[in-house]
Amino acid sequence: MKLLSECLHSCAGCEVSLVDNGPDMLEFMRQLEVVHMPLLVDGKYFGQEGTGKEMVIPRADVAIVSGGVANRDHLGILKKVRQRCDCLVALGTCATHGGIPALINQWPVSEAMRAVFSRFSNGRELKFVQIPEMLDRVYALDEKVRVDLMLPGCPPRSSEILHVLKGLVGRQDPGLPSKSVCDSCPVAREGKGGVKKLRRFLDNSVLDVNRPLEEMRCFLEQGFLCMGPVTAAGCAGRGAPLCIRAGVPCRGCFGPARPGGNQLLDMINALASNGIDWKSIVDRPSLLRFSGAHGLLRPARKRQ
Amino acid sequence: MKQKKVINIQPVTRIEGHARISIHLDHQGKVRLTRLNILSFRGFEKFVEGRAAEEIPRIVTRICGICPWMHHLAAVKAVEGCFGIEPARDGDRLRELLLLMAHVSDKILHFFFMAAPDFLLGSEAACSARNIFGMAARNPELARRVATMRQLAQQMIERFSGKAIHPVAAVPGGFSRPMTADDRKALLHDAVKLLDFALFALDFARKEVFPRVEDDIAGMDDIKTGFLGTVGETGGLRLYHGKLRLMKPDGSFVDFLPVEYENFIEERVEPWSYAKMPYARAWNEGFCLDSSSPRGIYRTNALARINVCDHIPTPRAQEALEEFRHKHGRPAQATLLYHWARLIELVYVSERTIELLEDPDILGTDVRCACRPGAGHGIACVEAPRGTLIHDYETDENGLITKANLIVGTTHNIAPMNLSVDRAARAVIRDFNPGPEALNRIEMAVRAYDP
């Protein structure tokens, strides 16, 4: 099997997660041909001589693409990858839902750039040259091309990436989890609606690290915002969710639990139906901090 | 006959970011200008605005999937500055431990997975084989050990703190959970293995890599710049807390506090790169990217830290530093020496990890003090693998971010990397057809910085 890996508007964390498989990754890669993987392998778009006129992406059976689509280069690369591969895997939450970089979608791109660069140009808009123009917002991959498999996570679990790739070699359906973080969370839930408002995470939860997690009270029941109810499971395989283990509430990094779900609206619904005042959450748009693509995060309309 | 004029090395490979090297040739095939273009704009400084400050350490991690711990920790310290609090002592100690452990896996990743193929297989190797998989085919034993040790370092972090990539456990006020005696026992057991490996790596490189580095340096007319890094009270190498030291190319230096950074460092924007370029405002010589007479340019990352520190506070790393200085002086300028400096640091972080784990206070349970959101201004630094991270935030009375300025490790090195690729291109390109081997030598100048 020929494997292609490309990262677009991303941080390389997904690729590092793959490398975190250690010797298992090296062993697995021996069975494949890695035709393109900028993080570890020297393939170039314009030939090894650097003089090609047109971008070349090698043909592959499977392409794993991390990161969203934010500039003209990303779009060109993604379209080419789509043409050159049989199976396209969107790797990580940036690729599946926009991820953290899609938070910028709350502002028009020109305003964001002005905010960052204007003090260097006497307030004038900087005209960039020789580098790709930014698109109007950050897109998930499936807004631009057909995607065959979604593997969310920030980052996706190491062993899960390897498991999926192995499945694709054997041409099997990898069978991704379809539960929520809460479904996989072992903490104690009493189900009593004592909480009316949510607190910010400014003090630690009640947690005894010498006792099993099953004895810890659910974060929401302790009055902290936890995105577990509306977030896809998968961060810890069969184990307890990673953030819960670390003693901090979930923030939703695997994207919506429900296909096509909206983590902000779904969370507000979940809170409202439990009698919790959702207006007690500060900065509500940040409930979409991992899934702001697909037009969910947008610039606020200017007030007259 | 019409001749081609621009050579594009894109993407620059075996690095973390997204970059292109464009080499502009004149009509005789000589290098007119070489540039390293940073190709995307993400806007973290804008989109943190309006967020609750205590959430920022869990957002800015996504600046870099290779060094998320450093962003996590610089942010948490800066947010504490905004809220006007000091972290709980035991929690702060745990944070330093995690920073060190994160440095371990990072250095193994960079040295062996990204850089070593250039030296062990060589620029002349086929580009399809010049990588970790090619190394695994040639020396499976070594590749296996390297991959296992790097994985171990990541697993240690994950076991104790939940997530290794995009961490969550550092919180304003301290840390989310204390360490148990069992945690500590397991970590110490593995930390000893990592120190063994670090010493092996340095020894291995001394035999197999550094001689090639020295050959390559001998043929290069390298750039001369200043350096920036963090040191402790007595001038020893520090990565988590400390003062900043800005060294001139001649080795003289000034020390200052992180909160004073704007008096010493200024940033600049060029229209051909989305990354800002910091330079040394304190030298009063302006900014110039001409590789034969640069002005205002300083470097960060391992070589810079090794240059600015007076000593390293752990024994094996100090020995390695003395050997390095004896051979290459202070400050050492040759860009490829970054690799050597990185392995000295690998020994330091491995030793210091054990020191901290052996300290009985590491089990302290005073890990977090409660904080109250409020208006303020916080500036904090930590040393990321790629250099001094500066996070600077302002908050309103509700503790929401109103303004942010971030100078990330690699940003400091954007200007010097531009100088280095220009120098390298002038050294290896003689006509219109330099070929892949020469082009890889130019990329090696970027890779040394581990951008």
Q: What gap in Å lies between CA A174 and CA A152, rounded to an integer?
A: 13
* B260 found inside a domain: no
Residues of A in contact with B163 (CB under 8 A): 242-243, 246
Residue B354's pLDDT is: 98
Alpha carbon of A148: minimum distance to chain B alpha carbons (Å): 25
Residues of chain A contacting residue B23, judged by C-beta atoms under 8 Å apart: 50
Mean pLDDT of B13-21: 90
Distance (Å, whole) CA B92 – CA B89: 5
Q: Domain residues for B138?
A: 86-214+356-370
User: What would the two tokens of residue B289 be?
Assistant: 């990217």
Residue B233 within a domain: no
Predicted pLDDT at A177: 64
At which residue do the structure tokens 């945690």 appear?
Answer: B183
Distances (CA, A) of B31 to A209, B12, B23, B295: 61, 19, 7, 21
Does residue B251 have a pLDDT over 50? yes
Helix (H) or strand (E) holding B146: helix B140-161
pLDDT, mean of residues A146-153 = 96
CATH classification of A2-169 is 3.10.450.750, yes or no?
no
State percent of chain B over pLDDT 90.
89
Q: What is the pLDDT of residues B138-187, one digit of tens each?
A: 999 999 999 999 999 999 999 999 999 999 999 999 999 999 999 999 99
- Residue B330: what pLDDT? 97
On the question of pLDDT at B311 being above 50, the answer is: yes
Shortest CA distance from B179: residue in chain A:
A209
With respect to residue B230, please indicate whether it lies within any of the assigned structural domains: no
* E strand spans, B277-434: 277-280, 298-299, 376-384, 387-395, 401-407
How many Cβ pairs closer than 8 A exist between chain A and B? 264
What are the extents of the domains in chain A? 2-169, 177-298
Q: What is the pLDDT of residues A260-304, one digit of tens each?
A: 999 999 999 999 999 999 999 999 999 999 999 999 999 987 655
Percent of chain A beyond pLDDT 90? 80
Burial A157-194 (b: 16+ CB within 10 A, else e): bbebbbbbbeebeeeeeeebbeebbbebbebeeeeeee
The rounded distance, in Å, linking the Cα atoms of A268 and B256 is 47
Sequential DSSP letters for B178-215: PPPHHHHHHHHHHHHHHHHHHHHHHHHHHHHTHHHHHH
Query: Can you tell me the ipTM of this complex?
Result: 0.96
| Residue B263: both structure tokens together | 């008096």
Percent residues over pLDDT 70 in chain B = 99
pLDDT at B2: 52
Which pLDDT belongs to residue B81? Answer: 98
Interatomic CA distance for residues A10 and A18, integer angstroms: 14
Chain A closest CA to B52's CA: distance in Å? Answer: 7
What one-letter code names the amino acid at B389? L
Residue B435 has pLDDT above 50, yes or no: yes
Cα(A56)–Cα(A84) distance, integer angstroms: 10
Of the candidate ranges A218-222, B81-85, B187-191, B269-273, the one whose mean pLDDT is the lowest: B269-273
Q: What is the pLDDT of residue B1?
A: 47
Give the pLDDT of residue A238: 85
Over residues A247-252, mean pLDDT:
97
SS3 at position B25: strand
- When CB atoms are compared, the residue of A13, A45, A126 closest to B166 is A13
pLDDT at residue A172, rounded to an integer: 67
Give the percent of chain A with pLDDT over 70.
Answer: 96
> Pick from B9, B14, B12: which is nearest to B132 by CA?
B14
pLDDT band at B450 (very low <50, low <70, confident <90, very high): confident
Check if the beta carbon of residue B266 is closer than 8 Å to that of residue B277.
no
Whole-number Å distance between alpha carbons of A277 and A284: 12
Q: Indicate whether A116 pLDDT > 60.
A: yes
Residue B52 predicted with pLDDT over 60: yes
Domain count across chain B:
1
Is residue B204 assigned to a domain?
Answer: yes
Contact criterion met (CB below 8 Å) for B52 and A282? yes
**Contact call for A248 and B130, based on CB within 8 A:** no
For residues A85-114, average pLDDT:
96
Q: Average model confidence (pLDDT) for chain B?
A: 95
What's the pLDDT at B84? 97
Measured distance CA(B72)–CA(B161) in Å, rounded: 13
Best A10, A39, A297 member to test B by mutation, with max B CBs in 10 Å, is: A39
Contacts of B178 in chain A (CB under 8 A): 209
Average pLDDT over residues B309-325: 98
DSSP B316: H
CB B14 within 8 A of CB B117: yes
